[in-house]
Amino acid sequence: MKVNINSIKPNPFTDELYGEFSLTNEDDRLLFQTISLKGILEPLIISKKNEIISGVRRYKVAIYLGITEVPVIVENIDEVREIDVIIHNQFREKNKVQWTYEYEKIRKEIGSKQGVKLDIENKSKLKEVKKIVDKNVKSQTRKRIVSAVKISKELYPEKTEIEIWKELMEENNRGRAVNTILKNLESQQAKIINSALVDNYTNFSNDCFKIIQGDSLEVHSQIEEDSIQCLTTSPPYWDYRTYDQNENDNNRIPLGNESDVDSYIDALVEIFERYISKMKNTSSIFVNVMDKIHNGKVANIPSKLCQKMESLGLHHIQTIHWYKRNPQYSANHKVAQSTCEFILHFSKSVHQRKWNEYWFNELNNRDFLYDVLYGKDGEIPLLKNLIIPFNEVWYDDMTHTPPVYSTNVINNHSLNKLLEDKGFKLTHSALYAYEIPMLLLLPTTERNDICLDIFSGLGTTGIVAFATDRSYIGVENSEIYAAQSKARFIELFKEYNPEQIQH
């Protein structure tokens, strides 16, 4: 049947759910062109009170074109509800957040929740809706979206639930992936939770495990000259992720976020230059870096960093290749999956540099060190995962094969549990296993030597240093990471040396 267009009216939900009709929108413009050529072919669905349930866009096009009569189908509905509009728009194109919102709305409307048994009619209705929704968004993705809404409500209690859903829909429309949206919200939530615990560790004190909270470019004066035997660090990688650093606004670009690789190298070398005078002539400096493909070609970060470090008077001793057997997935299908990082070894002096060729003997002490790093008796040492390099016996006229370390990417479960027990949320995503700093510290230091990490993170290098009877100084700009380092240290070592742990 056809009715006069003036006798029907739009419902109040369609524009809220799917946006207002606009000829600047490609789909709306295409609909306008089709109706102007062929007329309205698909009837509008209206209620018994002449309120449009489905077909608001067709109605608005008819108004534009001056069409006076439109085809309609009358549903046995008196008052149009939002759920009626949703159910009649199941085949409209939507983003993942919209699909999830509508599914949750329908599910709640018909009373579906854990422990409640639905009647046959509602159970069948939900099953049909779910079948359509599942084709457009996976159940796991819907769970993540619901989690994002829950976290948003906690972060922004002043906002209504519908405002939160709309904001998430807009983010998804702008191309933000659901995982990215959820991770950003989880990071915001974690920062609030973690920040509230920082003051608990302000008075932490230990002579052999010291954390200097501050910018590594600025706090070098707090470290004694000619005191450090080994500097082992893993700075932020370039153009890789946004790190939780530079909490004090000093108008500097966070390290790793520079516009080009040369600016990143310059910024990194400027920091290392501040610490050269802190190093002994017998010392070693280890820098863990990762190269990357940028604009279709290799950025050559390790070689460029080596040249700049040598310009400071340091000697490039060796490059260690660190292979991961289970690297993080990369979506760049035009090059091979990256499995290798580089550990660049420098020294102030070639001939005075300390190297203990019997360092492996320290691992025979199956007590404090073994228990802390590898677990109790009967467990397989993680060292079996490694390729140990030969002792250094290289000559200038010899070609040598670079040392190779091979490990799995660290499983953060134990650390995550440790921090959760302290009330923290683990947000640091660039951790490495104990073996790496151990294989760098033990050959180049002796007991009671001081080890330094100027990008300390959660203090992994410091844990290894303390466990092997070395002293440690860590520089960390993030107040949260500094506090978590202290919490980690206290928990790991309290049962071994309680008299040394002050908190």
Q: Which fold has domain 201-500?
A: Rossmann fold (3.40.50)
Residues 6+ apart with CB under 8 A from 193: 423, 424, 425
pLDDT score for 462: 95
Q: Residue 224's Cα: distance from chain center in Å?
A: 35
Query: pLDDT of 318-377, one tens digit each?
Result: 999 888 777 766 666 676 767 789 999 999 999 999 988 777 666 655 454 555 555 555
pLDDT score for 445: 95
Residues 6+ apart with CB under 8 A from 180: none
Please identify which residue in the block is written with the tokens 């290799």: 298
What's the pTM? 0.77
Residues 198, 10: Cα–Cα separation, whole Å: 54
Buried b (16+ CB within 10 A) or exposed e, 176-196: eebeebbeebeeebbbeebee
Using DSSP's 3-state secondary structure scheme, residue 355 falls into coil
Tell me phi and psi for residue 75, to 5 degrees.
-90, 155
Residues 454, 472: Cα–Cα separation, whole Å: 11
pLDDT score for 248: 47
Domain spans of the chain, in order of start: 2-191, 201-500
- The kind and range of the H/E element at 342 are strand 340-347
Residues 232, 248: Cα–Cα separation, whole Å: 24
Buried b (16+ CB within 10 A) or exposed e, 416-431: eebbeebebbbbbebe
pLDDT score for 296: 83
Q: Are 457 and 225 in contact (CB under 8 A)?
A: no
Segments of the chain with pLDDT less than 70? 112-116, 118, 241-251, 328-333, 335, 337, 360-402, 495-503
Residues 6+ apart with CB under 8 A from 58: 31, 35, 40, 42, 44, 70
